[in-house]
Amino acid sequence: MRITVTIPDEAAAQVRAHGLTLESYVEKLIEDAPHKEPIALRAPSPRRDIGGSSVQP
């Protein structure tokens, strides 16, 4: 399977600064993904009404 991704220039520069190619770095991320703990996504905080204006905590 072939997938196209857009990698920010700054991230690409950091990968290259560590002596890696972008391709090898992304392949390693994909290989390691099944063995890592999933990142817990935090539900958005509910809005609170303070003095007539709605703000997030």
Could you read off the pLDDT of 23-32 as tens digits, one per residue?
Answer: 999 999 889 9
Q: How many CB atoms lie within 10 A of CB 12?
A: 13
pTM of the full structure:
0.53
- Residues in Cβ contact with 22 at an 8 Å cutoff, skipping those fewer than 6 apart: 7, 12, 15, 16
Q: Which range has highest mean pLDDT (15-19, 25-29, 37-41)? A: 15-19
Asked if pLDDT for residue 55 goes beyond 70, the answer is: no
What residue ranges do the domains of the chain occupy? 8-33
Residue 48 is predicted with a pLDDT of 66
Q: Does residue 13 have a pLDDT over 90?
A: yes
Residue 40: the pLDDT is: 75
